[in-house]
Amino acid sequence: MSGPTLPTLLPLYHKTDHWFQRATATLLGEVPCRLGCTSCCIGPFPITVLDVHMLQQGLAGLPSDRRHRIEQRAIEQTDAMEAAFPQLTRSNLLDHWSDREIDRLGTEFHHHPCPALEADGRCGVYQHRPLVCRSMGIPTEDHGMAHGACDVQTFIPIIRLPSSFREEEDRLAQEEAAALDMHRRTTRSTGEEVFLPYGFLGRRQTRKAEG
């Protein structure tokens, strides 16, 4: 299965990084993300097939021992997930899963760290991390109410992001949707999301998606 190339994906990922950096500066220190804070790195969550390609690019650039260590953690996690949720053995694409089913798996495996999380709290594939990881930490808003983005961020921010940042966030989401649509048309793929550990097992994920 062919897919998007690194040069075509990088602009979206870099723009998301830039948005996060400017949003963080605007919130004047209210974003608690620091090296060693790994709250958002624990527990599986959905990532897109675009993220899978980025992770595979990142793994390809690692020394073989580090790559093997990350892949082995991913294998152990996906094996455990498949034992508890046998439907993953048929296809690990999540497009037909309900939010309730996704939440149920996330709850059952909430203690599993990301396969790329190193002992010192660093990300082993930081430059190639998924989009959701790049924007995590900015407070969310729902019906006019602001909420902390994670368990560590329990405050209600006094400073709210200007509307221009939310508009830019929406445009980035639209760019991601367009890239996913192009991927679907060029690869004839029927799905867009998998759980995070499968992103480190690109060839295995591909076989299941095509099976």
Residue-averaged pLDDT of the chain: 88
Task: Assess if residue 27 is contained within a domain.
Answer: no
Pairwise CA distance, residues 200 & 204, whole Å: 9
3-state secondary structure of 117: strand
Residue 35 lies in a domain: no
| pLDDT of 132 strictly over 50 | yes
pLDDT in tens, 88-125: 999 999 999 999 999 999 999 999 999 999 999 999 99
Q: For residues 18 and 171, what is the distance between their CA atoms, to the nearest angstrom?
A: 14
Q: How far apart are CA 4 and CA 179, in angstroms?
A: 8
Total domain count, the chain: 1
Domain that holds residue 48: 6-21+41-210
Q: Is the pTM of this model over 0.75?
A: yes
Q: What is the mean pLDDT of residues 191-199?
A: 96
Q: Kindly state whether residue 46 falls inside one of the protein's structural domains.
A: yes
**pLDDT 10s digits, 46-97:** 999 999 999 999 999 999 999 999 999 999 999 999 999 999 999 999 999 9
Q: What is the mean pLDDT of residues 182-210?
A: 79
Indicate whether 54 belongs to any domain: yes
Residue 22 pLDDT more than 50? Answer: yes
Residue 181 counted as domain residue: yes
CA–CA distance, 64 with 8 (Å, rounded to integer): 26
* Residue 28: inside a domain: no
Report the pLDDT averaged over residues 157-186.
Answer: 90
In a domain, 31, yes or no: no
> pLDDT category, 157, cuts 50, 70, 90?
low
Average pLDDT over residues 166-186: 93
User: Is residue 26 situated within a structural domain?
Assistant: no
